[in-house]
């Protein structure tokens, strides 16, 4: 039924794609944890949900979907929207629980609306509104928003209400910039057969350097509690 051609290049590319999806998934829960000022025990629940949902989406896409190189996992659009709304409302004094509940309801309504558009066949009509110029502007704004989030994380800046006692973490930032330059250098200067694995090399190198340069004795432990709305339910 399925005809998969397995080769060394496909195995390495698949392994790199796995790392790409893994990194995109694992970085979201800690960011939301910081933005919503949640307890450390909630990180387990959010991470479990993120990995399970991503795994189901990957299986559905591989066996029943288009099988194209489209990354499954938490969407950058939702991620940027949630963080932007959270930071904006928190600066206005809105309670975190109210923000989380509103976001949960809004995401649920968006899912229902998306299904209605798909079932009614209105998708191709709405697609006419998204011209190339609109999509270019959207991707530019999304990239700028996500770049800001990444740099704040690299510098150790808080995502929520700023703590007057926080300090900019220059050593981790320098390591992040070094890994980024390594990946860009591989993509720009190396042949295509090596440049295609720049993300994989950068991920493994960055993790190893972080492990040896910034060892940590802290470990996250706790009991996993399944919740329908881990970001807020009331």
The pLDDT tens digits of the residues spanning 94-125 come to 887 788 788 888 888 988 998 898 888 887 88
- Verify that 87 and 180 share a domain, yes or no: no
Give residue 203's domain range: 169-215
pTM confidence score: 0.61
Is 187 strand, coil or helix?
helix
Closest CA to 231 of 95, 100, 53: 100
- Verify that 119 and 72 share a domain, yes or no: yes
CA 186-192-197 angle, 5° bins? 55
Task: Look at the chain and report how many structural domains it folds into.
Answer: 2
- Verify that 114 and 174 share a domain, yes or no: no
pLDDT greater at residue 144 or residue 216: 144
Q: What is residue 221's predicted lDDT score, i.e. its pLDDT?
A: 56
- Verify that 94 and 175 share a domain, yes or no: no
Token pair recorded at residue 95: 């309670």
Token pair recorded at residue 20: 């790409």
Query: Are the CB atoms for 43 and 30 separated by under 8 Å?
Result: yes
- Verify that 122 and 48 share a domain, yes or no: yes
- Verify that 89 and 186 share a domain, yes or no: no
- Verify that 32 and 127 share a domain, yes or no: yes
- Verify that 109 and 17 share a domain, yes or no: yes
Any domain includes 22:
yes
pLDDT greater at residue 224 or residue 48: 48
- Verify that 102 and 130 share a domain, yes or no: yes
Any domain includes 234:
no
Confidence of residue 230 (pLDDT cuts 50, 70, 90): low
- Verify that 88 and 52 share a domain, yes or no: yes
Per-residue pLDDT, averaged over 35-47, amounts to 75
Distance of alpha carbon 232 from alpha carbon 101, whole angstroms: 5
Average pLDDT, the chain: 77
Any domain includes 225:
no
- Verify that 132 and 175 share a domain, yes or no: no
Token pair recorded at residue 189: 């200067």
């Amino acid at each position: 039924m399925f005809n998969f051609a397995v080769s060394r290049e496909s195995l390495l590319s698949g392994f790199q794609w796995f790392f790409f999806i893994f990194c995109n998934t694992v970085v979201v829960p800690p960011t939301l944890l910081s933005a919503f000022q949640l307890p450390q025990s909630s990180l387990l629940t959010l991470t479990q949900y993120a990995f399970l949902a991503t795994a189901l989406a990957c299986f559905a896409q591989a066996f029943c979907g288009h099988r194209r190189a489209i990354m499954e996992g938490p969407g950058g659009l939702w991620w940027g929207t949630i963080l932007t709304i959270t930071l904006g409302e928190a600066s206005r004094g809105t309670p975190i629980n109210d923000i989380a509940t509103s976001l949960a309801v809004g995401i649920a309504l968006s899912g229902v609306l998306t299904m209605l558009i798909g079932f009614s066949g209105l998708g191709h009509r709405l697609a006419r509104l998204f011209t190339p110029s609109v999509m270019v502007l959207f991707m530019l704004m999304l990239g700028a928003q996500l770049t800001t989030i990444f740099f704040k994380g690299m510098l150790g800046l808080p995502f929520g209400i700023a703590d007057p006692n926080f300090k900019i973490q220059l050593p981790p930032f320098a390591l992040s910039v070094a890994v980024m330059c390594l990946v860009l250098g591989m993509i720009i200067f190396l042949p295509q057969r090596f440049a295609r694995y720049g993300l994989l090399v950068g991920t493994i190198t960055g993790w190893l350097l972080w492990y040896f340069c910034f060892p940590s004795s802290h470990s996250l432990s706790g009991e996993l509690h399944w919740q329908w709305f881990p970001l807020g339910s009331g």
